[in-house]
Chains A and B, each alone.
Chain A
Amino acid sequence: MRKVVRAGIWALVTVLGAAAFARLALSRGETVSAAWLLTAALCTYAVAYRFYSKLIAAKVFALDASRPTPAVRLEDGRDFVPTNRWIVFGHHFAAIAGPGPLVGPTLAAQFGFLPGVIWLIVGVALGGAVQDFVILAASVRRNGTTLGQMARDEIGPVAGMSALVAVFGIMIVLLAVLALVVVNALKASPWGTVTIALTIPIALLMGVYLRWIRPGRVLEASAMGIVLLIGALYAGQWVSGQPSVAAMFTLSGTSLAVAIMIYSFAASVIPVWLLLAPRDYLSAFVKIGVIVALAAGILIVLPPLQMPALTQFTNGTGPVFAGKIFPFAFITIACGAVSGFHALISSGTTPKLLARETDARMIGYGAMLMESLVAVMALIAACALTPGVYFAVNAPASAIGATAASAAAAVRQWGFTLDPAQMQELARQVGERTLLSRTGGAPSLALGMAGLFSNVLGGTEAMAIWYHFAIMFEALFILTTLDAGTRVGRFMLQDLAGHVWAPAGRVSWYPGVVASSAIVVAMWGHFLYQGVLDPLGGINSLWPLFGISNQLLAAVALCVGTTVIIKMGKARYAWVTIAPLAWLVVVTMSAGWQKLFSADPKLGFLSHAASVQAAIASGALPAAIKSLGDAHRVISNDYLDAAVAAFFMVAVVVIVADSTREWFSVLRGRKPFASTEVPFAGAAVAGD
């Protein structure tokens, strides 16, 4: 009887989810409530978790609660600590959720809400959550080894080395594009700049407090930090109201870019307890708080989606980024659907904390579903804006001009409406000089969030505070990734350099530390600086590169997962990882190909370089390029971007080819089914 009831409930959840999808897909011309989007997401997550993750847990890995985990066997009170699964869930989620799932869906909203939501929901259930879960389970069975180590052990040295270099390349592109998002959010915004600048002394104060005043009292220090952050928010407001002071903090994109580079360099060489760790605690609390608030805001307001299900920009003519819906919707949204970076965390701290093997299902698969939900909420916040406002904020100046009137004219041409006076009024309401061409996703997400929050609390009067609160949250978040990422990049570089010249590898040798930090900052700083100067806005070319690189890492992780599954003797279930792998290879290769070789200069790096070259030859430069020097710079950047895209594509081919070779040697019997798992000690004892 209970079985029947349970089957009935699951049938109901399935039908409800399908109905919600149908409602979304069939909407034409009228606005749809966000409630349908949430229903489709939640029902699919529930069914996927209940049935698909169970299949992977039971059939592929045969997870066994009685098999001792590394945390139990190797407990040392430091790395290996058996921990309650809800606590590990929170820890893992806080580690995987970054700015990626907020920015990607916001940008992809240019295609309408439907492509984004389908890819987020289907992609996570069959791809992203599977990747996180499989890598976590594989790492737990191998004493918590890292992804790079597993690539070397399971596939071979070529794949291992490619993975290592790829991670470094991804890091550089990721840091550059995230820094660009911050620059675009703070450009000409004294309020935002002051608030973010103040987070540095706040973090330093917390660091001193945690070191000398009350060692280890993270909660006290963070509570103090959060109170001070709110103070910083109001300090920013005060500054923006004082014209003479505000002028000092009204910075251009290039000065902000330089400031962020200097900050990241400094943060990477000073001790972690002073700046990095306290900033990290602060950002973890703010992150969880904002995600909860966003969920509450969406649930209370249930905003109608102003964006249509599909826009005409699916044909590749969109102003936010170039490229058709396939493959670019699947590149633009990486985090939230499939995020390769998670494989580093699933094979980092988390596997050393699991008290029981079976917890891997909830933590690996479940936490990724949560991240997907965050991405769906970001998509809702962006699509709750009217399309006119959305495109005015997200389209570069080369597409909409510099005034509200020219923006309104451009938007009208795309078939949407925008009242110039209303656009200026909106900018005034949020305390900004202008909202036009604030590309990068952060400002439009902040606008959407401010709309939701002020609806619940404070009304229009509070729009400005909520907007800057959201900007502060995103920038805090991203700067934490920038300084920690620069530091990690420095260690990776020193590790690589140490192979060539031993002193460079010594992490305590000060000249080595300074030089490698400077090199890492210079590498991502170059992309950032060029992105700031780029007449098309930079996000246009950098975000797709980031998406391709993140998906490349996912392909590496899925190759490792497939190899592990085949070597376990479970080849008949290898489709679990091969299916998403095949999709990602198709998507990254076709996107990479188009970024390189498309004849459309808006899309292809090489044809863009050729078109600028032709313009130089003819003597008539395009309006956006002001001097001959600029034109030559644009060309060399195009070549650099093309080289980076080609590098990522070659890495995909090398790793997939190397893995396939390994799979066939095992399946054809040329190599034994040798699992590198730590044997089940309990079974061995019982068999004796």
Chain B
Amino acid sequence: MSSERRSPMADMRRDFVRRTRAVLERAARVVGFVAGAPDYERYVAHVRARHPDSEPVSRHEFMRQRLADRYDRPGARCC
């Protein structure tokens, strides 16, 4: 079995897997966001696009800041 040979069928399959994974990852982020999870990937994308000269904070630091902000004031939770 040679992996050199590239059939259009295999290309399509690879493409399909890639796209499905992208859709699933996106769906996972949406569901996580709805449940209140901070979106680190989105933040990094924002920093890269808008402030290319500054470095985004680490995932740990980002999570720590977001959670502290969320749970330290009223309005995060309802009855």
The answer to whether A273 and B40 touch (CB under 8 A), given A335-B79, A481-B77, A507-B72, is no
Between A and B, 29 residue pairs with Cβ closer than 8 Å are A75-B50, A77-B43, A78-B65, A94-B35, A94-B36, A95-B77, A96-B78, A146-B75, A147-B75, A174-B79, A216-B37, A216-B59, A216-B63, A219-B31, A219-B32, A272-B67, A272-B71, A273-B63, A273-B67, A339-B78, A344-B75, A345-B75, A348-B75, A348-B76, A481-B77, A487-B71, A488-B72, A491-B73, A507-B72
Shortest distance from the beta carbon of A71 to any chain B beta carbon, whole Å: 12
Let me know if B79 and A98 touch, CB within 8 A: yes
Let me know if B42 and A167 touch, CB within 8 A: no
Say yes or no: is B64 at the interface (Cβ < 8 Å to chain A).
yes
Shortest distance from the beta carbon of B23 to any chain A beta carbon, whole Å: 14
Distance, CA A96 to CA B34, complexed state (A): 12
Let me know if B34 and A94 touch, CB within 8 A: yes
Name the one of B35, B42, B60 contacting A218, with C-beta atoms under 8 angstroms.
B35
Kindly report which residue of chain A lies nearest to residue B41, judged by CB atoms: A216
Q: List B residues at the A interface (Cβ < 8 Å).
A: 28, 30-37, 39-40, 42-47, 50, 59-60, 62-79
Contacts of B71 in A (CB 8 A): 272, 276-277, 484, 487-488
Q: Given A75-B50, A341-B78, list of 8 further CB < 8 A pairs?
A: A76-B46, A83-B33, A90-B30, A218-B35, A281-B35, A349-B75, A481-B78, A484-B71
Scoring B44, B64, B74, B76 by chain A CB atoms within 10 A of each residue's CB, the highest score goes to B74
Say yes or no: is A659 at the interface (Cβ < 8 Å to chain B).
no
Say yes or no: is A222 at the interface (Cβ < 8 Å to chain B).
yes
Q: Mark A137-177, 1 if CB is under 8 A from B, else 0.
A: 00000000011000000000000000000010001001000
Contacts of B72 in A (CB 8 A): 487-488, 491, 507
Say yes or no: is A394 at the interface (Cβ < 8 Å to chain B).
no
Contacts of A96 in B (CB 8 A): 78
Contacts of B76 in A (CB 8 A): 95, 345, 348-349, 484, 488
Kindly report which residue of chain A lies nearest to residue B25, judged by CB atoms: A219
Contacts of B30 in A (CB 8 A): 87, 90
Let me know if A216 and B40 touch, CB within 8 A: yes
Name the one of A147, A215, A345 contacting B78, with C-beta atoms under 8 angstroms.
A345
Contacts of A211 in B (CB 8 A): 60
Kindly report which residue of chain B lies nearest to residue A94, judged by CB atoms: B34
Shortest distance from the beta carbon of A151 to any chain B beta carbon, whole Å: 13
Shortest distance from the beta carbon of A47 to any chain B beta carbon, whole Å: 26
Shortest distance from the beta carbon of A131 to any chain B beta carbon, whole Å: 13
Kindly report which residue of chain B lies nearest to residue A280, judged by CB atoms: B36
Say yes or no: is A79 at the interface (Cβ < 8 Å to chain B).
yes
Distance, CA A99 to CA B76, complexed state (A): 15
Contacts of B37 in A (CB 8 A): 216, 218, 281
Distance, CA A100 to CA B62, complexed state (A): 32
